[in-house]
Structure 1
Amino acid sequence: MSQMCGIGPFVTIPLMVAAFGGPQAVVGWLAGALLALVDGLVWAELGASLPGSGGSYVYLREAFQYRTGRLMPFLFVWTAMLFIPLIMSTGVVGFVQYLGYLWPGMTGSQGDLVGLAVVVLVTALLWRRVDGVARLTTVMWGVMLAAVGAVLLASYTHFSPGRAFGWPAHAVDLTRTHFWLGFAAGLTIGIYDYLGYNTTAYLGAELKRPGRTLPRSVIHSIVGIMAIYLLLQVGVLGALDWHLMLDPHSIAATSVASAVLQATWGKGAADVVTVLILVTAFASVLTGLLGGSRVPYDAARDGVFFRSYARLHRTHEFPTVGLLTMGAVTAVGFLIGRHTDLNTLINLLTTVMVIVQAFAQVLAVTVLRRRQPDLPRPYRMWCYPLPGVLAAIGWLVVYGYADRNAPGYHPIEWSLAWVAAGVAAFLVWSRFERIWPFGPREIREEFRTADRPQPVEA
């Protein structure tokens, strides 16, 4: 939950209101939660039956090795090298936005320099042995809860039902194209805010009883965050006029939580909560890059990515190449977000993520059930294959509307180009390593043959 709820809701509430054109924006949070839940059931079955370190690249390796060798896990790491730091770059964009509340005279160039300095500082802090990650995550979670709690308390002590529930005429008219365009944009923003529900899947090898722990972790975290988001969205809409969030020059559009505190409890309280949000943003980027830098390292160590990413620092034993690469991409993503907008950045990262990870994992559940029917499955997806089908439809909406949601920036075309570049990189790498398609295909069914507990139907 701490990974899911960083600075996201504090910067996306105005985006969600703009997407729907009014307080009916709560529909977007519900739609995002539904997509996260059905996709979470996909993660739950895969994670419970294949509890290895690495998450997606393990699932894709096991499912697609029969026809395409190591191509799919390689492509996952290739795309993760882009979408993980892009997610972190949205946190840096949010950091600069909220800093603008405390520093109203900050120029565009100064904001750019501050954001780049944050990335450099995070990278420098991670350039050492990190032993207190759990403690840091707990502190971040506490700071985030304090910020959310202050905004909720301020909102509901000055709550106006007329503002929160005064939906415009035809706000939810299913016969109008305008509603569906807003719904697609809101679904993209919503699922972006829920990202992180799959975090425990990357720690599968370290979990006790993953068949029980992982599905509960996924479902409980989504339901818990959904409750927080809905309370936050409705509370903010009841405390502020939603029209203010559509004005790019308004505090409510760039620092909505600060605007709520200023309107209800005054400037002093707003300053304090803004500082808490800045701490939350910084800590989320720090922990996100910490975990993200380990993805190419784990894959390289397992023989499914470039060997250079398996290098560790000689004394502090952290993956140097992965950290530097993701830090650099985070900096570039931040500049893209600053000179376009946050919505464009969100669409760029989701389209890259959808092709290889989201769609492929839905298919992986079916492939594994056919290829490895005797694979121990401590958890089986409810109502199979319905959740997978619904998840695929949801991801198709996110992907198919990306160009409309970010007009002029072509996120679909960029995502396809990045995947094509990944295929080319795989061919060069596989030729050098002399593996499929330039060598024999290797079949590793390590989870099928391992000594695992018998499956229990959920």
Structure 2
Amino acid sequence: MSGSPPPSGGFTRRIGLFQATAINMSQMCGIGPFVTIPLMVAAFGGPQASIGFVAGAILALADGLIWAELGASLPGSGGSYVYLRQAFQYRTGRLMPFLFVWTAMLFVPLIMSTGVVGFVQYLGYLAPDLGGTTGDLIGLGVIALVILLLWRGIEHIAKITTVMWIVMITAVVLVIVAAVTHFDPDLAFTFPKGAFDLTEGSFWMGFAAGLTIGIYDYLGYNTTAYMGAEIKDPGRTLPRSIVYSIGGIMVIYLLLQIGSLGVIDWHRMLDSTDIASSSVASAVLQETWGKGAAQVVTVLILITAFASVFTGLLGGSRIPYDAARDRVFFRAYGKLHAKHKFPTFGLATMGVVAAAGFLIGRHTDLVTLIQLLTTVMILVQAFSQIAAVTVLRKRQPTLPRPYKMWLYPLPSVVALVGWLVIYGYADKNSPGRHPIEWSLGWLALGCVAFFLWSRFEKVWPFGPREINEEYLAGATAGTGAADGRAPEPDPR
């Protein structure tokens, strides 16, 4: 691609559009929809909960177009890490990419911990007498097993993840077919009084909560952006893979949501003693095809939950490794296992955080865990990338942009409004949990860590600012000063 530097780290561009779209969809459709349908119904107070999945798709699409422009013009390995490094290097050095890695060390394993919470919930269908302490121990054991498998350096991981993907798709298709063949429109489309009263504040609180759950379910539409150095013709493939995956998953989610509501009375999803509130897919299968079929599909869902944690920690542990190797994070995270060649410190850290997140989700609720991970992610990744598109258009106007955001800057505005709604309502939708305060505290702690790290490494603000416009056509690393002056030296 014109203006694109050669892939780094020995990567080759071998992933085409079909593979890229499948990769995104496999990350998007994990355990999420199986555990969040009752949460969405609770947020809206009725079967109008489908609004949440549509709203989540709109936000995902608007934000996805931001990822599309950045990924097409900066097709390197690392995703947000690359975009923030390129956009904000002129004034704040390595602060923004450092803070991204810092927050990713929290929100990535928290996302994985929701999969373990879902695992234990569905296990409760097969073992109704499963106690709280036993469930905690099983969940921690699942995380330990994932870390052990990854620690031993499994070969042929691609084949393993392919099998897990087939299992996941099988589970989704079976639930949809069971729901569609036994669909009752009176159950799905009988709404409570005032369900669509936009003048009520309760509607907008429910909308904000549903939007949070919805965007959580769509997370993963940007997976191929982190693999930019391995994508064929990234200027065309990356934007299309993002848009296609969001559209495809929206159809799947709406079929699951509406289909489940057409089989299970939505009031059952609000009853904590009913299996429909914790294992709605199992309830759908039991209601339609009987308990035996429900048990089989529940086993498939357990495998899906395990797969989502396995693949998530596999990829997430590489984020601090790449940054450390590029001298943008603590050096300890840049070391590989001597024999199996995986990032030991990153994997261990994320495993510990995932375990802590699982216990938080178990002893509060899944909504609190989702609110916490989204608020942390929004601060550095979502808000910063919205700004990065505009900053790069001004700072690097000659940067090759095979894809430019449609209707710019409208998608940026829509994404900003959506993220602000989620962030602004976070405390109200998690009363007493203070996700906003926790996210701000984590960010502040990250700033302190950056200044300690930068002082040790002697980089900005304790050393020269390094400008690297590597993606500009004809530019070479270390050239292109921010203010027209001669470039500052790169001590590396």
Shorter-chain TM-score tier: over 0.9
Structure 1 residue runs without a partner (length 5+): 453-458
> 1:80-131, CA deviations, whole angstroms, 9 ceiling, x for partnerless residues?
0000000000000000000001011111000000000000000000013344
**Counterpart-to-counterpart distance in 2, 1:262 and 1:107:** 23
2:386 aligned partner, one-letter code: V
- Residue in structure 1 matched with residue 458 of structure 2 by the alignment: 434
1: CA distance between counterparts of 2:176 and 2:473?
51
Q: Give the alignment partner of residue 160 of structure 1, picking from 155, 180, 184.
A: 184
**TM-score when normalising by structure 2:** 0.91
Q: Distance in 2 between matches of 1:140 and 1:400?
A: 37
2:288 alignment partner in structure 1: 264
Moved more, 132-141 or 167-176: 132-141
Q: 1:127 and 2:151 equivalent?
A: yes
Which of 34, 39, 51 matches 2:75? 51
Instruction: Output aligned runs, 1:338-349, within 5 Å.
Output: 338-349=362-373
SS state at 1:260 partner: helix
1:149 to 166, 173, 179: 173
For 1:455, the equivalent position in structure 2 comes to none
- Could you tell me how far apart the structure 2 residues matched to 1:426 and 1:132 are? 37
| 1:424 maps to 2:448 | yes
Question: What is the correspondence of 1:192-341 to structure 2 with a 5 Å cutoff?
Answer: 192-341=216-365
Q: How does 1:70-149 map to 2 (within 5 A)?
A: 70-149=94-173
How far apart, in 2, do the equivalents of 1:61 and 1:32 lie? 28
Q: 1:380 matched to which residue of 2?
A: 404
Quote the residue 1:17 is aligned against: 41
Other-structure match for 1:188:
212
Paired with 1:406 and 1:450, the residues of 2 have a C-alpha distance of 50
Letter of the aligned partner of 2:238 in structure 1?
Answer: L
Distance 2:230 2:154 in 1: 18
Deviation at 1:198, TM superposition (A): 0.3
**1:363 paired residue number:** 387
8 A Cα contact 2:398 2:473, kept in partner: no
CA distance in 1, matches of 2:245, 2:162: 15
Deviation at 1:451, TM superposition (A): 7.7
Give 1:39's match in structure 2, choosing from 39, 63, 66.
Answer: 63
Q: What percent of counterpart residues are identical?
A: 74
Deviation at 1:20, TM superposition (A): 0.2
Contact 2:400–2:473, Cα closer than 8 Å, also in 1: no
How far apart are residue 294 of structure 1 and its match? 0.2
Moved over 3 A (4+): 449-452
210-219 or 442-451, which deviates more: 442-451
* In structure 1, distance between residues paired with 2:289 and 2:343: 46
Distance 1:385 1:253 in 2: 40
CA deviation vs aligned residue, 1:310-367 (integer Å, no higher than 9, x gap): 0000011000000000000000000000000000000000000000000000000000
Residue 302 of structure 2 aligns with an amino acid whose one-letter code is L
- Which one of the candidate residues 452, 455, 467 is aligned to 1:443? 467
TM-score by length of 1: 0.98
1:354 and 2:378 matched: yes
Shift, 1:450, TM fit: 5.0
Give me the whole-angstrom Cα distance separating, in 1, the residues matched to 2:77 and 2:152.
Answer: 22
Structure 2, unaligned runs of 5 or more: 1-24, 477-492
Separation in structure 1 between the aligned mates of residue 381 and residue 157 of structure 2, nearest angstrom: 26
Secondary structure at the counterpart of residue 418 of structure 2: helix
Which of 88, 91, 94 does residue 64 from structure 1 map onto?
88
CA contact (8 A) 1:57 1:73 kept: yes
Question: Is the 1:44–1:218 contact (alpha carbons within 8 Å) kept by the matching residues of 2?
Answer: yes
Shift of 1:153: 1.4
Cα RMSD (Å) = 1.0
Whole-Å separation in 2 of the counterparts to 1:104 and 1:372: 59
